[in-house]
Amino acid sequence: MELPFNEAGVSVTRTALSAAGQVFPLRDIDDLRIVVGQRKRSVPIALSLIGVALAAAGGAYGSGAGLACGVMMVVVGWLAWIWQEARHQLIVVTASESREAVWSNDLAFLERVEQAVRAAKASSAASAEASAARPSAQ
């Protein structure tokens, strides 16, 4: 049996999507959607604002330690912003429920998984139509 997609612990065959110990038969999958995660803004902004206030207070009172700590807090807020990664999810919709099948920080990976599942579903539907159209030899 060929594996049309097998990457990072996720495999898509002609009959199923297997990811994170879960197996979703393709015949049960009604739809797929990708939920794009967003970066959290509150913590980096709060750290930076506290740092600005501390640096201003340190500068106003002539405290080198206060100024240095404030500048360091602003840098920590900036680093918290740039190192933060968004978590994207691939949601599988079946008749009874929607479940998270895969999550990743790489949106392109989830798009490849989605394309592989859609291609496998189309392929299995085409082969089912071909076998139904073939007359039985009896």
Reported as a single tens digit per residue, the pLDDT across 11-60 is: 887 778 888 788 888 788 888 888 888 878 888 899 999 999 999 999 89
Residue range 106-116, pLDDT digits in tens: 888 888 888 88
Contact, 86 vs 22, CB < 8 A? no
Name which of 18, 21, 16, 23 is nearest 7 in CA terms.
18
Dist. CA 90–CA 88, nearest whole Å: 7
Residue range 34-45, pLDDT digits in tens: 888 887 888 889
Helix axis angle, 42-60 to 64-83, nearest 10°: 160
> pTM for the full model?
0.61
Rounded to a whole number of angstroms, the distance between the first and last alpha carbons of the chain is: 28
**What pLDDT, on the 0 to 100 scale, is given for residue 49?**
93
**What pLDDT, on the 0 to 100 scale, is given for residue 1?**
44
